[in-house]
Chains A and B, each alone.
Chain A
């Protein structure tokens, strides 16, 4: 296979992985946003809404004062978690345009550490009472971490896919090489 064809194949598969991640992020965002609507409906949809709340209760404290009020009910996640999920979705959307459709390149380590430190500072200030219930800081720090995470997770998955792909391809070729 010539280099141009290989590049095209790499790009096509990378794009599929990227679109899958984008789709999952979008579905996750929509589930969170429309969970209040489901809970307030009746029958199966209401049960589904309760299931969503129960599922997210494991990953978020769901404190009412710290959650957005949408469609007559509180969201199943707090503002910070919602910002992280929204940030990840936005990061996934802008990723190909910022990275110029290079799905393999990874950003510098400092960017991720900076976003984590930022959120730790915000949580600490909140925990020790220096910054009480400051919504903007939660949106900004959570959104930033989510956006930055997308720039590591997308190329990470793309690289991992090709490494696994090559691993299995080599395994398939090996017995033939031994006999030849």
Chain B
């Protein structure tokens, strides 16, 4: 792999991370994620489209695996960045989101078990004392790391698949 190709992949991952973070953190725009994480998929998609256009410019062959890896790493990196931004924003703004979450649970379900209310209360106490909740941040990081790379990967895959767009099966596999 040439240095140029490596640089293009790294740039694509950074672009994907910025796009996913932007779509997830911007108020109103983050509503796009309520549509099956469309914002995360779009970030991976745009990153892989960028990579494909650069690869074409440099006459480098486009592989589906590159799109998959770009989407995957964009998802991993963005999930870490998003948690860090969320942590700092809650510390600075001194808000307690657990109050809203408690109200949301009460509006959705007829009865909320005491265990759930206790957990919400514990997290709320963490917000009151530390300004942020380490437990919630860790949970958020784990959940993001489970979801974002997978969705980013699908976005990256679709981007490179659409750019390549071939009806013929890849005969390269038969020669190996």
A contacts, CB < 8 Å to B: 3, 6-7, 10, 39, 46-47, 50, 53, 55, 57-62, 64, 73-74, 80-81, 84, 102, 104-109, 112, 123, 149, 152-153, 155-157, 159-160, 162-164, 166-167, 169
Contacts and interface: CB of A to CB of B under 8 A. Distances in A.
Interface string B96-119: 000000001000110001011000
Interface of B: 31, 33-37, 63-65, 67-68, 104, 108-109, 113, 115-116, 143, 147, 154, 157-158, 160-162, 164-170, 172-174, 176
A102 B170 CA distance: 11
A157 B157 CA distance: 8
Given A50-B116, A106-B164, A166-B173, A153 B108 contact: no
Given A106-B165, A152-B161, A59 B65 contact: no
A115 to B, nearest CB: 12
A46 B37 contact: no
Contacts, number: 96
Contact of A104 (B33, B36, B169): B169
A54 to B, nearest CB: 9
B165 A55 contact: no
A53 B108 contact: yes
Contacts of A74: 108
Contacts of A155: 161
Q: Which residue among B64, B116, B166 has the maximum number of chain A CB atoms within 10 Å of its CB?
A: B64
Contact of B166 (A50, A53, A106): A106
Q: Which residue among A55, A105, A112, A160 has the maximum number of chain B CB atoms within 10 Å of its CB?
A: A160
B143 A58 contact: yes
Contact of A59 (B34, B157, B166): B34
A169 B65 CA distance: 14
Nearest to B172: A166
B176 A166 contact: yes
Given A58-B147, A64-B108, A108-B165, A152 B158 contact: yes
Contacts of A61: 31, 34
A62 B36 CA distance: 11
B143 A3 contact: no
A93 B147 CA distance: 24
B162 A105 contact: no
24 contacts: A6-B174, A7-B174, A39-B109, A50-B113, A57-B104, A58-B33, A58-B37, A60-B35, A80-B35, A81-B35, A81-B36, A105-B169, A106-B165, A106-B166, A106-B167, A149-B158, A152-B161, A153-B154, A156-B68, A156-B161, A162-B173, A163-B64, A163-B65, A164-B68
A104 B65 CA distance: 14
Given A58-B37, A58-B143, A58-B147, 19 more contacts: A7-B174, A60-B34, A74-B108, A81-B35, A105-B168, A106-B161, A106-B167, A109-B165, A152-B157, A152-B158, A152-B161, A153-B158, A156-B158, A157-B68, A159-B170, A160-B65, A163-B64, A166-B172, A166-B173
Going nearest first, the 4 A-B pairs with the smallest beta carbon separation are A104-B169, A163-B65, A156-B157, A160-B64
